[in-house]
Structure 1
Amino acid sequence: MLLDDHELLFNVFSMKDNLYVHLFIIAVIFDILTGNLRGILSNNYQKLDSSIGLKGLLKHIIVILILLTIYPYLTLLGFKPYANTIMGFYILNYSISVVENLGQLGIKLPHSIIKSLAKLSDQQEENNNDHQQH
């Protein structure tokens, strides 16, 4: 099957109207912002490392480029439901990361969410152990 360049280009430009793409980009932006805020406000402020932030930013850029390249091809080949599912997976993954960042920043979250997320559950156990020792 030969891919039509005009149709592929149309699919690329039509991503600007796609809710999944917008939610994905918003989730990535919030993850970057909350992650950086967590790094700045954490107890390890003196140990901030720009190389860690750069690695994280590069990882985000690579994921964005891969998804925004694959999505129009899958759509063109008739696999839009799969493209949306992949995008939904990444939206969920980044959203979980945002919630973890918010929890680690000390923002009160419902107990059911804390219990469901390993990072926050471990952090809460550490906090409880610290309070019991003092």
Structure 2
Amino acid sequence: MMKFQSLLDNKLILIYTWAVFFDLVTGFIKSLSHKSTNSTKGLSGLLKHALLLIAILTLYPMFDLIGMGGMGDAFLIFYILFYLVSIVENWGQMGLPVPEWVKRYLYKLSDEYNKDDKGGK
């Protein structure tokens, strides 16, 4: 039980939680700015985020219990980076400034993606 209580003091868990929150907020603002807000898509997105949060809050302490705390940290860092990429993509798709060197590495902000998107409309 102490392992689960120690999650409250874990900086990686805190960063992950904030990353999920900012991803949700930027995704919602992006959908409003594109006038493409969809309750079904939003609900499935919330469900996906909730399930992932439950999985992480369950698995992370398990890794520590079996002596693989480093694996748990790596697992969590992967998802933090995943959410940070999503936040930057949402930011860029809202038309807010993103450095060119970052855009080159994010497909949804790349010229190739934008060409495909405009061609399909």
- TM-score (norm. length: structure 1): 0.83
Q: Equivalences for 1:1-134 in 2 at 5 Å?
A: 9-42=1-34, 45=35, 47-121=36-110, 122-123=113-114, 125=115
Letter in 1 for 2:92: G
Letter in 2 for 1:39: S
Rg larger in structure: 1
Stretches (4+) displaced over 2 A = none
Are 2:33 and 2:94, in contact at CA under 8 Å, matched by a contact in 1?
A: yes
Q: How many percent of aligned residue pairs carry the same amino acid?
A: 34
SS at match of 1:95: helix
Structure 1: stretches of 5+ with no match in the other structure: 1-8
Structure 2: stretches of 5+ with no match in the other structure: none
- TM-score (norm. length: structure 2): 0.91
User: How many pairs were matched up?
Assistant: 117
Q: Distance in 2 between matches of 1:78 and 1:104?
A: 41
Structural RMSD (CA):
1.6
Residue of structure 2 in register with 1:4 after alignment: none
